[in-house]
Amino acid sequence: MTFDKMTSILLCIVVVIVIVGIVLLIIKRRRKNQNPFAAHAKNSSRKQRHPDASSKSSTSQQQSCSYCKRKVNPKELAFYSGHEKVVGVCKACRPLAERQSLLRL
């Protein structure tokens, strides 16, 4: 009789552990899918901050290098992808991006 009680208790513990594991897996997947940098969130916030992008002067069209933060003409930037982000680097910082084995876009 004690063997049956022990078996049922162990079975209940195993079932509870499996249920807790499934719940944690579902919560983890939901958090992973909630990306704050999604395309729709990024576009809506960009429109609110910069409603009239065409009125900018040519001097404000410069972008900064992701590594040295120097302002350069966007045509002089090279864009690399890696580690789930995109970086724009100037000519001086290109060897740094290539050493980190980032892929050129």
Q: What is the pLDDT of residues 19-78, one digit of tens each?
A: 999 999 998 888 776 655 554 544 554 545 554 555 555 556 888 998 899 999 888 898
* CA gap 103, 68 in Å, rounded: 19
Is pTM beyond 0.85? Reply is no
Helix, strand or coil for residue 36?
A: coil
Give me the pLDDT at residue 23, please: 95
Six token digits for residue 24: 């944690």
